[in-house]
Amino acid sequence: MTLLDDFLIRAALAGIGVALAAAPLGCFVVWRRMAYFGDATAHASILGVALALSFDVSVFAGVLATALAMATTVSALAGRGYAMDTLLGVLAHSSLAFGLVAVSFLQGVRIDLMAYLFGDILAVGRADLAVIWGGAVLVLVLLWWRWPALLTATLNPDLAHAAGIDPRREQMVLTIALALVVAVAIKVVGVLLIAAMLLIPAAAARPFAATPERMAVIAGLLGMVAATGGLQLAFVLDTPAGPSIVCLAAGLFAASSLTGLLLQRRRS
Amino acid sequence: MNSLISMDGLTVAHSGNTVLSGVSLSIAPGEIVTVVGPNGSGKSTLLRSVIGALKPSRGTVTRAPGLRIGYVPQKLHIDATLPLTVRRFLSLPERVSDARASEALIQAGAGDLAARQMSGLSGGQFQRVLLARALLCNPQLLILDEATQGLDQPGSAAFYQRIEKVRQDLGCAVLMVSHELHVVMAASDRVICLNGHVCCEGAPEHVASAPEYRALFGTGTQGALALYRHEHNHSHDHGCTHDHGHQHEAAE
């Protein structure tokens, strides 16, 4: 395992793991217009970091628990008087604020807030790597298992009902997958940029995909390119790694959108 | 003959508002039942209760054991961000063989659409693909929720004729809903008028002999469309017996 001794190799593997889990889930986030939902869940996780540190449990567990709590709260409150974007805006930013305040209460714990806000991929250790890949595999298995039901429920809830699928259960599956992705991605890109890892590769894959499966695979590939390429960029230019990954992903999105437009124009 | 679906005193409430009250209805194998009623009369609620998407607040919905339902939803918005070919759509949620898929597409009159993107289909093509998908399970009961919404009159007529043919071929019962109060399928065995409750039921051929029907029934629709006139200016405040005059009209 001498290979894993190199911090850059570990960082690249961590980035690839997150990209692989985030891509197919990100496709659902795009198709179901859940971008804000992803944002809110991710922002709430800083509160999870504070709670985990103060109760001395693993950050992964704390983040997973708060992300789940946040996502279920949003699902439960949806359609009860407030528009979804208002509700998510309130919850996302207030949970971030509460999290930041809670972190400031932590006495005696030296906590690098920036590492949780923007990620600290270069500090990924072997244990982190195990958590990231374990979580990523869990998300992929979960999505693989529920894929047809998830797609049907995404198309239309009534269509799902008629086929004996409960759309709320599928929503719950996505919620759990989202909480898992947030928990594993916090070390890599940080809470502020997790939504970017979900959305951007999936959106960039759209012009090249004819079926949902192909979109998920292409998103995974683009995510991996962004993760490894962004890491190299950060190394060469001496820039922060997490934001560099997202910048490269945004570049890929711009290129793909342009290509998509050109393809469309040529066809018509 | 055992009914496929029977509703007994079905009452459904959405957030405190009673949408359907005391609806009792049953559908026999092979019959075509059309539900008409104005907007907000609970037609879609009725269908959604039948497929199990809504729980009744009172009353029961009983499905025959192992009932296969083919459901054609009112409208399906497919987000432009979701790439989906017609062929892939047919394999949701359960994978079907290419042979079965093309058979259903041909039955639904969409034989040439398999490779197309769902988001690029016209309204009529989209409805035929939805119908093809509903036929995949070899349904005993085909449920259509305002299937011709957004189609022009010849389009609707062609669609209804197709449904009639499907019923002949498969022998399935058809339960469909139309918000166009006056335009229903001539092939309907029963027309049910709904306005929160069942106002009246009648066979369309009785209506077809009425002079209003002759006057308003277009000749260009090859008998697929019939007219069903119904006045909604009566009050339903009493809520118990509904022996309105038009019930007799329909039965004349």
pLDDT per residue as tens digits for the range B156-165: 888 888 888 8
Closest by CA to B49, choosing from B93, B105, B5, B17, is: B5
Termini Cα distance of chain A: 54
CA distance A151 to A32: 10
Name the helix (H) or strand (E) containing A134. helix A126-155
pLDDT of residue B248: 37
The tens digit of pLDDT for each residue in B108-138 reads 888 899 999 998 888 888 889 999 999 998 8
Name the helix (H) or strand (E) containing A244. helix A241-267
Three-state secondary structure call for residue A210: coil
pLDDT of residue A35: 85
CB atoms within 10 A of CB A189: 31
Three-state secondary structure call for residue B26: strand
Mutation for A interface: B84, B94, B121, most A CBs within 10 A? B84
A247 in a structural domain: no
**Could you tell me if A121 and A241 are in contact, meaning their C-beta atoms sit under 8 angstroms apart?**
yes
Average pLDDT of every residue of chain A: 89
- Give residue B216's pLDDT band: very low, low, confident or very high (50, 70, 90): very low
**Could you tell me if B143 and B69 are in contact, meaning their C-beta atoms sit under 8 angstroms apart?**
yes
Strands B190-194 and B198-202: antiparallel
Chain B residues in contact with A30 by the CB 8 A cut-off are 81
CA distance A210 to chain B (A): 5
Mean pLDDT, residues A143-163 taken together: 90
- Return the minimum-mean-pLDDT range out of A184-193, A250-259, B2-11, B73-82: B73-82
Please state whether A115 falls in left (phi above 0), alpha (psi between -120 and 50) or beta. alpha
Angle at A137 between CA A132 and CA A141, to 5 degrees: 150
Residue spans of beta strands (DSSP E) within chain B: 5-14, 17-27, 32-36, 58-63, 69-72, 141-145, 173-178, 183-185, 190-194, 198-202, 225-227
- Give residue B183's pLDDT band: very low, low, confident or very high (50, 70, 90): low
A223 in a structural domain: no
pLDDT of residue B205: 64
CA distance A136 to chain B (A): 23
Q: How far is CA A197 from CA A217, A245, A248, B80, B135, in A?
A: 15, 9, 11, 21, 40
Q: Is the pLDDT of residue B252 over 50?
A: no
- Return the minimum-mean-pLDDT range out of A127-141, A180-194, A222-236: A180-194
What is this structure's pTM? 0.81
Q: What CATH number has the domain bearing residue A21? A: 1.10.3470.10
Residue of A33, A162, A210 lying closest to B83 (CB–CB): A210
pLDDT of residue A253: 97
Per-residue H/E/C for A29-89: HHHCCCHHHHHHHHHHHHHHHHHHHHHCCCHHHHHHHHHHHHHHHHHHHCCCCCCHHHHHH
Residue A187: give the domain boundaries.
3-198
Phi and psi torsions of A180, nearest 5°: -65, -45
The tens digit of pLDDT for each residue in B36-48 reads 777 778 888 898 8
Q: Is the pLDDT of residue B230 over 50?
A: no
Closest by CA to A118, choosing from A187, A54, A173, A56, is: A187
A232 in a structural domain: no
Closest by CA to B108, choosing from B79, B139, B146, is: B139
Q: Is the pLDDT of residue A108 over 80?
A: no
Chain A residues in contact with B117 by the CB 8 A cut-off are 210
- Give residue B149's pLDDT band: very low, low, confident or very high (50, 70, 90): confident
pLDDT of residue B210: 46
Mean pLDDT, residues A241-265 taken together: 93
A220 in a structural domain: no
Mean pLDDT, residues B55-73 taken together: 89
pLDDT of residue A225: 97
Q: Do B69 and A162 touch (CB under 8 A)?
A: yes
Q: Do A206 and B83 touch (CB under 8 A)?
A: yes
CA distance A157 to B212: 40
CA distance A99 to A267: 50
Q: Cα B171 from chain centroid?
A: 16
Q: Do B51 and A161 touch (CB under 8 A)?
A: yes
pLDDT of residue B245: 39
CA distance B51 to B71: 8
Helix ranges, A157-240 (H) = 157-162, 167-185, 194-205, 212-237
A86 in a structural domain: yes
Enter the tokens of residue A267. Answer: 């066809």
CA distance A15 to A23: 12
Q: Do B73 and A156 touch (CB under 8 A)?
A: yes
Average pLDDT of every residue of chain B: 78
**Could you tell me if B201 and B25 are in contact, meaning their C-beta atoms sit under 8 angstroms apart?**
no
Q: Do A158 and B83 touch (CB under 8 A)?
A: no
Q: Do A162 and B92 touch (CB under 8 A)?
A: no
Residue of A159, A210, A214 lying closest to B71 (CB–CB): A159
**Could you tell me if B50 and B5 are in contact, meaning their C-beta atoms sit under 8 angstroms apart?**
yes
Q: Do A210 and B94 touch (CB under 8 A)?
A: no
> What DSSP character marks residue B239?
-
CA distance A199 to A202: 5
The tens digit of pLDDT for each residue in A19-76 reads 999 999 999 999 998 888 888 889 888 888 888 888 888 888 999 999 889 888 887 7
Closest by CA to B227, choosing from B210, B215, B209, B213, is: B213
Counts of helices then strands in chain B (DSSP H, E): 8, 11
A228 in a structural domain: no
CA distance A69 to A145: 23
Angle at A250 between CA A244 and CA A253, to 5 degrees: 150
The number of C-beta contacts closer than 8 angstroms across A and B is: 66
- Give residue A231's pLDDT band: very low, low, confident or very high (50, 70, 90): very high
A193 in a structural domain: yes
Angle at B220 between CA B214 and CA B223, to 5 degrees: 60
Strands B58-63 and B69-72: unpaired
A45 in a structural domain: yes
pLDDT of residue B236: 47
Q: How many domains does chain A have?
A: 1
